[in-house]
Structure 1
Amino acid sequence: MLAFDLPSHQVLSWLPVALIALYVVEILSRTFFGPLRRVPGPWATLLSSLPLRYQAIKARKVFWVHELHQKYGPVVRISPSEIDVADIEAFSEIHKIGSPFLKSPWYVMFRGAVNCFTCSDPKIHGRKRKTLARPFSKTSLRGNWEAVVVNLAKQTVAKMKEEATQGTTDLLKWWTFFATDVTGEVAFGEAFGLVESGQKPKYILDLESVNRARALRAEVAPLYNVLKTCTFGYFDPLGQADRNIERMSFDIMRNARLRQLPKANIISGVLNESDPEDRFSEREALLEAIMLVVAGSGTTAITLTYLCWAVMFNPAYQKRLEEELASVGQDFGDAQLEALPFLNAVVQETLRLYGAAPGGLPRTSPKGGCRLAGFYIPEGLTINTQAFSLHRDPLTYNDPLEFRPERYLDGKMDGKAVFAPFGSGSRTCLGIHLAYMELRLAAATFFRECAGVKLADVTTPESMEIVQYFLIAPKAQRCLVALR
């Protein structure tokens, strides 16, 4: 008998030893030869992405990464193939125009389809953005949709006042209705009717639930894909939900076109472009419409909610803002509001601390690797630059955790910091001017019409603690206020 020709029971007895040996070799290999072994971070992140995924599922990912920065410095390893960078120069290099740092596959994994937001190919993105950017310019927005935003803001505040006669009103609920109706008007030419009805239709409920689940799927993609494969595609709840949402979105888009609404809207614009190269197919328009509704509703609603809460939590700021707003005429417009120093400082400070999507903006390191903040990063790895940490840099901001709008007065912060609540570079959010318009007009309408509004007793710093999956939200999932 040859030495290696062992009986089967002896082979089985050695199997656990072999598996343990392989595991030890893997640990040693990652510890001493892993591509990010020289980047500081917890030892466990050399071996596995589980610590990162665990924090994401707990809705604490941005907090955990920020704590790592406080312990290890501006560049930290958060998984065997992923880092986060909180360095101003590195951020500028990663997100500059023409950057070789392309969007990582996470974006398509998150959305499940390619649109202007998820697209990583610069040429495809450039074509899509060129077509979509025109209607999102400040001039176009003020000419076509400012009156719509003003009217919806007035209707929303009126509904808040009506609800508050019963005791309190929920700002998060009503600002969500407001922002979603605005995106309906801009995308399709008519609102979804949330402000009027005070309820969310099935389409919006499905969209919200799917996006919460999609954020989790992006964090546990390997497990999700294994279950999908092992069940021959039977386990794919998000895939089926996406198909249902696309079907409902197509119906909304088709009905809007059949009615030939007189108002301009984004979808009709991209479908009717005069230049064939810029014109979108129905499928492209559909995916962009879904993106607009998702990106333009929850984000603005969350930021508006935190803006109102932060101002009311500081009575001196509330008094100052209400006095400034009293100085403008009754029929104010966005251009007038843009000239108000304190209102705009409040908006900026809210976006700094409570931007709705403060996560990592994942990019892929370019071919040949790169050097960032003194560390060499091999090609093909994921590089995050979470705004949550950049906006809380104590080297840039005095008392970075405090809500202090005055820091943005008199040009004190000009050019001194990374400010990226809407991303940066050529991938800056298309809806940035629409978001600013909504924030200014809605906040101004609220604090003029509801001067002296107070936080309800149950609305506390604890109830407003941030939880974060993809977007942030108050832990209580509401923000109750009482009107005089």
Structure 2
Amino acid sequence: MEPFPACQTSGQWTAHQSTSALAVYYKSLALKDVPGPFVTRYSKIPLLYQTITLNRTRYIHDLHQKYGPLVRLAPDEISLNHPPSVGPIYNYEKTHFYNAFEAYGAKNMFSTPDRAHHSGRRKHLGGEYTKQYMLKPENLTVIYDRVRQMVNNIVPDEPKDVFYLFNYLAQDVISGFFFGNQNGSHLLQGQDTEVFDAWHMRRQTFHWWAELPNFTKMLHSTGIANLIPGWADATKGEEIINDMTHKWMDNCDQEKAHLLTKLNQTGMSREEISAEVMDHMGAGHETTGTTLTFMIDHLSKNPAQQKKLHKELMTVDLNDFNAVDKLPYLHGVVLETLRLYSSIPASEPRIVPDGGVTLLDKFIPPHTVISAQPYSMHRQEEYFDRCLDFIPERWLEPTAKAKTAWMAFGKGTRGCIGQNIAMVTIKVAVSHLYKTFESMKPAVLSEKEDMDFKDYYMITPKNDTCTVVFRKAD
């Protein structure tokens, strides 16, 4: 986290060097008018505890429920839950939190802290992530081929773990875009499935690297990390993912026009390209896979909404994506899923720039860490009537307030670059499922299944499983 180097003198902020105790004192003094638990004026320990125990998002949401739209999380960290004020803060610089997304010792587009370097990275791939690019026939083919493979994995009237099914689909789609339609992963065909397990092994130490990087490095360098349950598995998972990423890159036809070819033309080093590829592989499958999992779980418990979706899908040719894309109820189901089951519901921290900023009549000094979280933004009655209810119809004619508060793909100039491929993949998958099948939960659920979420920044069902039964639709 950025050091807090200043104290206030006659309204101006000047450099201030001090001991750790004095630094904490000045941080506390600067944010004394921001409400929050008393202990957060002097310590980050409560926030760290909630983060590492996978409860950060709900903890922050509870604080907003108690203290209002601006809340102090730590001596130099605040959370904002006021939609009209959120947009600008996501143009601020990123914090060290994003170093946890680095790979191969190199930064990628997502972990690049400053906007200038991020823009340089984004221009290399931005064109390939536009909706116009996604809708090219050769690119739609990647998605349609994988979705058909997904449907072929379904045996009617038999329980199916859709958590794995949808994550396999999403991994195969994003790798198909990066490496070409015949290259990359083929998890839906039973190949390379160990890489999916590796992603989940790796995430066990994510928050430690994000929040306590120096301490975590020390635990690894001394060998203590190998004695902590799950940490050796996390290291092994990292090795598997690194090896698999290089395998896909090396097996790819470099002359074909796909995303890896574009990266190879940038002059970046192999390590930088590998870091970029690995980040897109992880983000591209976990987000889409999670969204589909929670969506189908919800629909399987709500047959009336499912039937309405099926009726709408019967009016279109599934191979005509432009027609599928315009279906209003399908679109509402997707947006409502992203609202209530955002795959990244957690806060993404930024740093208040020099000069500070005034928010809700309170001055926030420079170098304060600030964030907002979709989980809380999407659960405000003022912006979403019956905010806890799943109502696809609210998106048929969304209110201006709803549009302001919705941030499933982030805000500002660094919003999710992959939102178009995610939306296209989700719509193609859901349209194929619910024109062909109806779904329901098994009569007897596994004791392991729990659709509460684990808060690894990107969420998953608590025990990484979600079982559904598909039957041929009438």
Q: TM-score range by the shorter chain?
A: 0.7 to 0.9
Tell me which residue corresponds to 2:125.
132
Map 1:390-409; keep pairs closer than 5 Å.
Answer: 390-409=377-396
The question of 1:430 aligning with 2:389 is answered no
Q: 2:216 aligns with which of 198, 208, 224?
A: 224
- Which secondary structure state, in structure 1, belongs to the residue aligned with residue 454 of structure 2? strand
Q: 1:31 to 1:154 in 2, by over 3 A?
A: same
Map 1:51-450; keep pairs closer than 5 Å.
Answer: 51-95=46-90, 99=91, 101-111=92-102, 113-143=106-136, 144-161=138-155, 164=156, 167-189=158-180, 190-197=183-190, 200-228=192-220, 242=238, 245-257=241-253, 260=255, 262=256, 264-272=257-265, 278-329=266-317, 331-412=318-399, 416-450=403-437
Q: 1:31 to 1:115 in 2, by over 3 A?
A: closer
Read off the aligned partner of 2:310 and give its amino acid letter: E
* Residues 96 and 210, structure 2, Cα contact 8 Å, conserved in 1: no
Is the deviation greater in 105-114 or in 230-239? 230-239
Q: 1:46 aligns with which of 37, 41, 45?
A: 41
Structure 2 residue runs of 5 or longer lacking an equivalent are 1-19
Read off the aligned partner of 1:52 and give its amino acid letter: L
* Residues 89 and 371, structure 2, Cα contact 8 Å, conserved in 1: no
Number of equivalenced pairs:
442
Q: CA deviation at 1:379?
A: 1.3
Q: CA deviation at 1:312?
A: 2.3
Q: 1:417 to 1:233 in 2, by over 3 A?
A: closer
Q: CA deviation at 1:399?
A: 1.2
Read off the aligned partner of 1:184 and give its amino acid letter: S
- Which secondary structure state, in structure 2, belongs to the residue aligned with residue 397 of structure 1? coil
Is the deviation greater in 52-61 or in 335-344? 52-61
* Residues 28 and 41, structure 2, Cα contact 8 Å, conserved in 1: no
Query: RMSD of the TM alignment (CA)?
Result: 2.8
Tell me which residue corresponds to 2:10.
none
What is the TM-score normalised by the length of structure 2? 0.86
Tell me which residue corresponds to 1:455.
441
* Residues 297 and 466, structure 2, Cα contact 8 Å, conserved in 1: yes
Read off the aligned partner of 1:285 and give its amino acid letter: I
Percent identity, aligned pairs only, is 29
Tell me which residue corresponds to 1:16.
none
After superposition, give the CA deviation of every residue in 1:242-287 in whole Å (9 maximum; x if it has no partner): 56643442232122146x5x5x321112213xxxxx5543332211
Q: Which has the larger radius of gyration?
A: 1
2-structure distance, mates of 1:66, 1:182? 33
- Which secondary structure state, in structure 2, belongs to the residue aligned with residue 34 of structure 1? helix
Q: 1:231 to 1:314 in 2, by over 3 A?
A: closer
Q: 1:458 to 1:217 in 2, by over 3 A?
A: farther
Q: CA deviation at 1:460?
A: 10
Q: 1:464 aligns with which of 411, 427, 451?
A: 451
After superposition, give the CA deviation of every residue in 1:87-134 in whole Å (9 maximum; x if it has no partner): 122202212xxx3x2111110134354111111122211111111111
- Which secondary structure state, in structure 2, belongs to the residue aligned with residue 481 of structure 1? strand
Q: CA deviation at 1:299?
A: 0.6
* Residues 168 and 196, structure 2, Cα contact 8 Å, conserved in 1: no
2-structure distance, mates of 1:282, 1:449? 44
Tell me which residue corresponds to 1:6.
none
